[in-house]
A and B are shown apart, each in its own frame.
Chain A
């Protein structure tokens, strides 16, 4: 059984470490906040200007002036801070944020990532993604292994306009956890019930497969 979005988020949450400031992108990454392991304290930064982002507000308490980078209404936890966009990206560029989790349309085996534009068809814009991937030391991509047409999103080279180069360190997909190093994908774990063969077949880029590939424990 491949993972659903929640499963991907749960697995990424296991990567969190005590004391980290973390930026979560739009989509699956946002869900990571729901599965912080017990005994670990992390603080979420949203690049539109809050540190200490809390859960969605109780129905009726929503405030138009308090949103996250996905434009969703949120709350501020005790000890939160608000700031302007220049200071927000000072935190990001200055490497004060320990982990960035974001989605992608394509990831290449050298760590390149594409997630903002399909020429002639769709342009979302890069938002803060280019600043985040250019500066963060630790970048995890959360995504489905294949696109809707069934083609691999883990490639030898990205075909879409890039968001950043040589930056992704880890990918958690619906099928597997993979590290990126030495210009290759390295299979680390497989999703429950997913075979190594299935992962190899679904990965276009070069994939290094160790002898023993443990199943994820969620």
Chain B
């Protein structure tokens, strides 16, 4: 089945105000840059964004925060994003901070038809407030609910016309689980190839999870912390 759409405009058709959107990536690594730029352009607002981070002040999801297009963030780490921290502390932005592993599993569960699961992460902390606690093997666990989204937007290294995806190195991160959990999953890829060119043995995300795929126009792939050793 051909999932290819012409460009980012078509890929994000139907993404409207007040929707819930999952965005893949860890820090600035493996984020759907082209789709984020397009969301800034369309001015879509009131969004609930599910993403491990919120980019940096001037790149990634930080761009949507600057424009106040996000109503609520569901994330695990604010980190070095000053604007995110400022909007959160001032109460302008609603933020649900959850453990990174729980975030990943909640997305996976959402895509896998598992409504909720128990995890030890967060027991005895703020994260457990209002959540069911149950002991297994003598150890307390909390009940975490699955997450789904109106749109899941992911970024892959290679993809084919069927929507099969291959990610590169640590740019994989949240992308495969989010791809599973979107009502409409959009994949932007660095390299779009005809069906048959990717080895089926090497597919990370099978095309069944992807509704729309397009070749990203430009990938800046900004590095957040450039750490190197000197040439010897």
Contact = CB atoms under 8 A, between A and B. Distances in A.
B123 A134 contact: yes
A88 interface: yes
Nearest to A120: B89
A210 interface: no
B119 A93 contact: yes
A213 to B, nearest CB: 32
A85 interface: yes
Interface stretch (B5-13, B37-45, B174-182, B195-203): B174-182
Given A49-B26, A65-B221, A162 B88 contact: no
Interface string B104-129: 11011000000000011111111100
B30 A58 contact: no
Given A84-B174, A125-B75, A131 B229 contact: no
A64 B29 contact: yes
Contact of B122 (A65, A82, A120, A134): A134
Nearest to B124: A165
A84 B26 contact: no
Contact of A85 (B119, B125, B173, B221): B173
Nearest to A74: B227
Contact of B228 (A46, A57, A112, A164): A57
A163 interface: yes
A74 B226 CA distance: 9
A27 to B, nearest CB: 12
Given A85-B174, A120-B89, A125-B78, A48 B120 contact: no
Given A56-B228, A58-B231, A83-B172, A71 B124 contact: no
A65 B125 contact: no
A65 B104 contact: no
A57 B170 contact: no
B215 interface: no
Contacts of A162: 124-126
B26 A59 contact: no
Contacts of A66: 169-170
A67 B15 CA distance: 31
Given A59-B231, A65-B157, A165-B123, A85 B100 contact: yes
Contact of A89 (B78, B100, B230): B100
A134 B119 CA distance: 9
Given A67-B225, A84-B177, A134-B122, A126 B28 contact: no
Given A82-B170, A88-B104, A164-B125, A127 B76 contact: yes
Contacts of A161: 125-126
A71 B225 contact: yes
B141 to A, nearest CB: 9
* Cβ-closest 7 pairs across A and B: A89-B101, A131-B101, A165-B124, A85-B104, A125-B77, A130-B99, A64-B221
Interface of A: 46-50, 55-74, 76, 82-86, 88-89, 92-93, 112, 116-117, 120-131, 134-135, 161-166
Given A89-B101, A125-B77, A126-B77, 4 more contacts: A82-B167, A93-B121, A126-B97, A164-B124
Interface of B: 26-30, 52, 75-79, 85, 88-89, 95, 97-105, 107-108, 119-127, 157, 167-177, 204, 221-232
